[in-house]
Amino acid sequence: MNQIERIKYFEEIFEETSAAVNNLSSALENYSAIQEKYFELMNYYGTDWLKDYEDDESGKIPKDLKRGVLSQDAIYDLLAKNRELQIKILEIFADILRKG
């Protein structure tokens, strides 16, 4: 690879890496900012959710009320996906640190 090709090649890597780092930084800021609300949701799922779910099943909740949170699997799936994501983040960062 000649000098011009090398510079072009590494410029492309630099641009891709810069974009990925900026995207990850933004995503982590958003993820961090929502954690307090996430823990509220986890607490809701462990306390009042079942009563709200049962009331919805018995027709006590208005049908025009948005209530995806009362889906039997929605919160559980979110909690599981979040846990998987946390593990994946740790694995990726551990691998990066080992290589680094």
Contact assessment for residue 72 and residue 41, using Cβ atoms and an 8 Å cutoff: no
Q: Report residue 96: phi and psi, to 5°.
A: -60, -45
- Give 78-89 pLDDT, tens digit per residue: 989 999 999 999
- With bands split at pLDDT 50, 70 and 90, how would you rate the model's confidence at 75? confident
- Give the pair of three-digit tokens for residue 13: 């890597």
Q: pTM above 0.75?
A: no
Mean model confidence pLDDT for the chain: 94
Predicted confidence band at 62 (pLDDT cuts at 50, 70, 90)?
very high
